[in-house]
Structure 1
Amino acid sequence: MNLSEFMNTEIVAGNTLWRITGLFGLLLVGFTAGKLLKFILSRRAEQLREPRPIIAATLGAIGRAAPFLAFALGLAAGTSLLVLNGASELVGTCVAIVVTLAISWTAICLVDAPKAWMTQRAGQTESKLDDMLAPIVSKSLIATIVVLTVVQIAQILSGKEITSILAGLGIGGLAFALAAQDTIKNLFGSMVLLADRPFEVGDRIVVDSTDGTVETVGMRSTRVRTLTGHLVTIPNGELANKSIENVTKRPHIRRIFNITITYDTPPAKVAEAKAILEEIMKDHEGMDPEFPPRVFFNEFQNSALNLFCIYWYHPALWWDYLALTERINMQILERFNEAGIDFAFPTQTVHLAGDPSRPLEVGVKGS
């Protein structure tokens, strides 16, 4: 038996050896070519990651998709060599689904290219809105690709026109919308947050009892890292309807405090204490001329004379503000001690009968 006769030997269902060999050969060639392309593109993407991030992301995406796509193309070419007889429709449907999945996977991988472009643009601007948009846009593109893939597979399996499928999906979509109304609510909530921009990624916000830094804003929820280190996930639908305090956007930090001195302090010493406080807080490092410090002798308390003090620190840098606060407190303590001005604390005074400095009339009046 020569080689031609050997290769034309029937193996199964009318398929000769050369047809079977061609199928597996094309599958092997496609898979090997895909793996080789992935290796080459991945190496090149690593080299271009710093100077050309967008090109690197595109090459890396193509590299990830190459094995599956090459395998699907090899399968489509290989099955065309077979004698399928009555199974041609079934095999054709399966091959069409595999090719559709491979193309969809390629499109999903290529979403990394616009994501890299948006990330690069976000790094060139001061606004952090782009940081919020990049993940949302990429997830939206992936969701769109998945929906189109499902519609395409449904068309392949049913053999109906896409308009009929879309009409059926419309009825099913209504039922799905009722079942997934919370998810839809969160999706619209994310759109409201992007439109109103009450905060950006990296801002410190306070929502109800949650106080922390915004880490990510997704399509469904926003993740906040609290000051204690815990990660809190807040649905966007709820977040859009809540009062949000953006601590990062405050223009300054205001401090209000009271200095209490004893009741036996002479008026001259009270005036001196007020002057000392004004001098200590005057022209401090975080002062804005439009917000000068203020000191007032404003109240006679139960056990003390009260000096009301207020100052503002610009900009709102928390640790710098605390350092200034510590210096002011130390200076107040030192200057009051030097001046002999006593700080007050809650006390009670008991007046005794017979005290010549505070005479009391104790007795019963006669009739």
Structure 2
Amino acid sequence: MKYLLLLCSTLLAFPVSGEEGHPLLPADTSSPRATLNSFMESCETAYGMLASQGRTTGDEASWRKGRDAIRSVERCMDPGDVAQFRHENIIKEAAVALKEVLDRIELPDEKEIPDRKMMTRPDGSLIESWTIPSTEITLRLTKEGPMAGHYRFSPDTVARADEFYLRVKNLPYKEGATEGFAEIYLSAPGSKWLAEVVKRMPSTLRERKSGQAVWQWTGLGIVLFGTVLLMAVLYASGRRISKRGADGGMVRYILGLAFPIAAVFVPIKAAGIISRLLAISGTALYVVKFNLSLIALFASMIVVLGIGRRVGELIACVPHIKASNIDAQLARLMSRIMGMLCAIVLLLQGGQHLGIPLSSLLAGAGVVGAALALSAQDVLKNIFGSIMIILDKPYTVGERIKIKGYDGVVEEIGLRSTRIRLLNGHQAIIPNEDMARSDIENIGRRPFIRRVSTIRLPVDIGSAKARKAVEIVQGVLQNHEGFDPDFPPRAWLSEFESDHLDLKMIYWYHPPNYWDYTAHADTVNRGLLDAFEKAGIRIALPAFTTKIEDEAGVPVPAPKA
């Protein structure tokens, strides 16, 4: 009788139909009495729809009615510090369990349940909580957030709702109760066609085992197997299309990312099927949704990293940037670093959504980072060396350099090493750490090629012919090929040696094309030989002195002629 009075007062205070109540009017949670009335009314509405239509609604009006009832129930419940992805399911399951409890236990008269006035102290402050007599079901005042000042079922009550239900499950229902509410909610499929299939199943498949019906466990296994299979197919397809990277075609490389993107939505869709269509609940739902959300999170990170790599390749494809030069490498490196940073932010945000504290995530990231730093010191040194090379640009692809005894042309600057094609055709691969620390002679950046040559003249050549030799050299080099007025050629008699006189010759060849320079040097040499021959000037041959010693080291005199 007390319950009927409570229900009647609820129906009078809160009209059910959309025509009588404003659609934006929230559930009244201003006091324990108002919250309890709102909760009971909303559960009655939800039960009526579940019993008559199942989890699906036939028209928009029914859908809106069900949505409003669920929102009212959610407003009455305080899940506390629960992972965000669990809020909806925890609130619904706790609400059903609490409704089953309230349908079995004796409630106080409505007048004994405190309203706002009864919960207000003489000084104007509000009493923090009220507990239903003879129970541990508590409605607590919310002090912070958008629901501050409202009374809701406490986090402890929400967390222990299943425990309370199990303790009173064997008690009889009171008159007018929503009988079988929990059974209908936990076992009703999420679509009409599946509900029809379940009705035709043998009773053994409808029996509940470990919190779920047998058909639900079967459906769960099928969905999880299909999820794993579909994701494997998508990733394999993506790898096959983009396995050659940008070398296989930029359009193909970018389209290959569509498969990992599609794979992100597979576990999300699977979680929706499991919770809504199969109506899995309890610990099984939490474990499955947590792992599927974790898979979706890691799949999203893979997509973000893939986007970073492809953005770098797109930048490297800009017409004025060569695909293998240092600017392209800088674009690739910066894009990958940005991708990694975005993936880390995504991991932190996703971890918080899954209920993993930020401090734990940061601590875990620190431990992993330290372990990686210790195990990959050489790799990190080379990466930092790459960054220094990219920023300082001591050489670029296509330039000839000398380093550590190697002389060749730079072919590629990677994240770990630099590849040099030596003049003998061999390839040298040098770690970027060594490249960043070593002295580099960049021949490719010289503005000219300087030739310094010495012509040996006989000591007895005489003053006139010596002067003539200098004039010949100056004449051959005057306005020569590759001549630059800022670098005029030089020729002079430099040193007297014991067996010859040095004639020094210097000139600069512009631009620094090596093979053009060698061809010009050949022309200069032949011109000098011809001019010296006509002038009767000969070039001194190297003089050698041979000393002969016996076994005791005593010089042996030269034989007389």
- Which TM-score band applies after superposition, normalised by the shorter structure? 0.7 to 0.9
Compared with structure 1, are the counterparts of its residues 87 and 105 closer, same or farther at alpha carbon in structure 2 (3 Å cutoff)?
Answer: same
- 1:363 matched residue in structure 2: none
2:432 to 236, 250, 259: 236
1:23 to 199, 203, 223: 223
For 2:314 and 2:528, the matched residues in 1 are separated by: 55
- 1:99 matched residue in structure 2: 296
For 1:59 and 1:233, the matched residues in 2 are separated by: 30
- 2:328 matched residue in structure 1: 131
- 2:264 matched residue in structure 1: 69
Deviations 1:171-214 (A, max 9, x none): 56456545555444444433333333222233222222122233
TM-aligned CA deviation for residue 267 of structure 1: 2.6
Contact 2:398-2:409 at 8 Å conserved across structures: yes
1:309 to 505, 513, 517: 505
TM-aligned CA deviation for residue 114 of structure 1: 2.0
SS in 2 for 1:91: helix
- 2:518 matched residue in structure 1: 322
Contact 2:351-2:357 at 8 Å conserved across structures: no
TM-aligned CA deviation for residue 322 of structure 1: 0.9
Contact 1:97-1:156 at 8 Å conserved across structures: no
* Stretch deviating more after TM superposition (226-235 or 240-249): 226-235
TM-aligned CA deviation for residue 152 of structure 1: 7.0
Q: Which has the larger radius of gyration?
A: 2
TM-aligned CA deviation for residue 99 of structure 1: 1.1
TM-aligned CA deviation for residue 312 of structure 1: 0.7
Compared with structure 1, are the counterparts of its residues 162 and 115 closer, same or farther at alpha carbon in structure 2 (3 Å cutoff)?
Answer: same
- 1:191 matched residue in structure 2: 387
Q: Establish whether residue 279 from structure 1 lines up as the match of residue 475 from structure 2.
A: yes
For 2:221 and 2:376, the matched residues in 1 are separated by: 50
For 2:384 and 2:435, the matched residues in 1 are separated by: 11
The 5 Å alignment of 1:162-311 reads 162-170=358-366, 173-174=369-370, 177=373, 180-311=376-507
TM-aligned CA deviation for residue 308 of structure 1: 0.8
Moved over 6 A (4+): 28-35, 152-157
For 1:178 and 1:25, the matched residues in 2 are separated by: 38
Q: Which has the higher contact order (CA 8 A, sep 6+)?
A: 1
Q: Establish whether residue 14 from structure 1 lines up as the match of residue 213 from structure 2.
A: yes
Contact 2:309-2:336 at 8 Å conserved across structures: no
Name stretches of at least 5 consecutive residues in structure 1 with no aligned partner: 351-367
Compared with structure 1, are the counterparts of its residues 7 and 203 closer, same or farther at alpha carbon in structure 2 (3 Å cutoff)?
Answer: farther
TM-aligned CA deviation for residue 331 of structure 1: 1.5
Compared with structure 1, are the counterparts of its residues 179 and 286 closer, same or farther at alpha carbon in structure 2 (3 Å cutoff)?
Answer: same
* Stretch deviating more after TM superposition (215-224 or 15-24): 15-24
Q: Establish whether residue 60 from structure 1 lines up as the match of residue 251 from structure 2.
A: no
Kindly provide the amino acid, as one letter, of the partner of residue 92 in structure 1.
K
Contact 1:30-1:67 at 8 Å conserved across structures: no
Compared with structure 1, are the counterparts of its residues 176 and 105 closer, same or farther at alpha carbon in structure 2 (3 Å cutoff)?
Answer: closer
Compared with structure 1, are the counterparts of its residues 91 and 230 closer, same or farther at alpha carbon in structure 2 (3 Å cutoff)?
Answer: farther
Contact 2:305-2:340 at 8 Å conserved across structures: no
TM-aligned CA deviation for residue 15 of structure 1: 4.7
Q: How many residues align?
A: 334
* Stretch deviating more after TM superposition (300-309 or 245-254): 300-309
SS in 1 for 2:317: helix
For 1:167 and 1:24, the matched residues in 2 are separated by: 32
Deviations 1:139-160 (A, max 9, x none): 3245445655766787789x53
For 1:7 and 1:209, the matched residues in 2 are separated by: 83
Name stretches of at least 5 consecutive residues in structure 2 with no aligned partner: 1-192, 547-561
SS in 2 for 1:123: coil
TM-aligned CA deviation for residue 274 of structure 1: 1.6
Contact 2:312-2:333 at 8 Å conserved across structures: no
Contact 2:454-2:504 at 8 Å conserved across structures: yes
TM-aligned CA deviation for residue 106 of structure 1: 1.8
Contact 2:268-2:292 at 8 Å conserved across structures: no
For 1:188 and 1:290, the matched residues in 2 are separated by: 41
For 2:379 and 2:231, the matched residues in 1 are separated by: 39
1:334 to 530, 536, 556: 530
For 2:219 and 2:326, the matched residues in 1 are separated by: 57
For 1:333 and 1:174, the matched residues in 2 are separated by: 70
For 1:284 and 1:204, the matched residues in 2 are separated by: 26
Contact 2:326-2:413 at 8 Å conserved across structures: no
For 1:124 and 1:271, the matched residues in 2 are separated by: 54
Kindly provide the amino acid, as one letter, of the partner of residue 213 in structure 2.
G
Contact 2:327-2:390 at 8 Å conserved across structures: no
TM-score (norm: length of structure 1)? 0.73
Kindly provide the amino acid, as one letter, of the partner of residue 284 in structure 1.
H
Contact 2:386-2:432 at 8 Å conserved across structures: yes
Contact 1:293-1:310 at 8 Å conserved across structures: yes
% of aligned pairs identical? 31
Deviations 1:104-146 (A, max 9, x none): 2222222244213421346259xx5522312212332454456
Compared with structure 1, are the counterparts of its residues 5 and 177 closer, same or farther at alpha carbon in structure 2 (3 Å cutoff)?
Answer: closer
Compared with structure 1, are the counterparts of its residues 269 and 326 closer, same or farther at alpha carbon in structure 2 (3 Å cutoff)?
Answer: same
For 1:20 and 1:195, the matched residues in 2 are separated by: 54
Kindly provide the amino acid, as one letter, of the partner of residue 297 in structure 2.
T
For 1:255 and 1:307, the matched residues in 2 are separated by: 14
- 1:355 matched residue in structure 2: none
TM-aligned CA deviation for residue 328 of structure 1: 1.0
TM-score (norm: length of structure 2)? 0.50
Contact 1:252-1:315 at 8 Å conserved across structures: yes
1:89 to 280, 286, 293: 286
